[in-house]
Amino acid sequence: MKIVIDADEVAVDLKKTIIEHLEKKGIEVVDLEHISKHPGAHYPDVGYNLALKIQSGEFERGILMCGTGQGVAMIANKVEGVYAGACNDVYSAERIRKSNNAQILTLGSRVTGPESAKTIVDAWLESEFQGGGSQEKVEQMRRLENKSFS
């Protein structure tokens, strides 16, 4: 598995922690480093840039971080076909994959400590979309999304 990751200036330390954690588990991580490559960029730029990488199929899953995880989730969800969810707990992380098929996990460095963040990331990575009763709901989200983006 290869994971794409990025963060705004507020969450750089958490991003480093998560990268180290993933690499210790043998997971390949690609850090986009948007902030360092584009001085003056903010979380909308970071989130949008990573979401485009998911949309293009270059990566299947990504992790975004900002102060709360909410801002990067909001902008990532503006990219057609991309689903992101902010998670502060393991159960939510599992559900955004198992029920909602989210390709992007977002975390907040100001609301989630490093050890909790590692646990949340692990739960999300270990979860897969289950289909079943959620399949129709995800398809409905796609239909509504297509209507909105048209």
In a 10 Å sphere around its CB, with 0-12 CB exposed, 13-18 middle and 19+ buried, how is residue 16 labelled? middle
118 CB-side CA count, 13 A: 13
Q: Which position among 64, 66, 76, 125 bears the catalytic label?
A: 66
Strand partners, 84: 104
Question: Amino acid identity of 82?
Answer: V
Assess whether 66 carries a catalytic annotation.
yes
Nearest 5°: phi and psi at 17?
A: -60, -45
Active site residues: 66
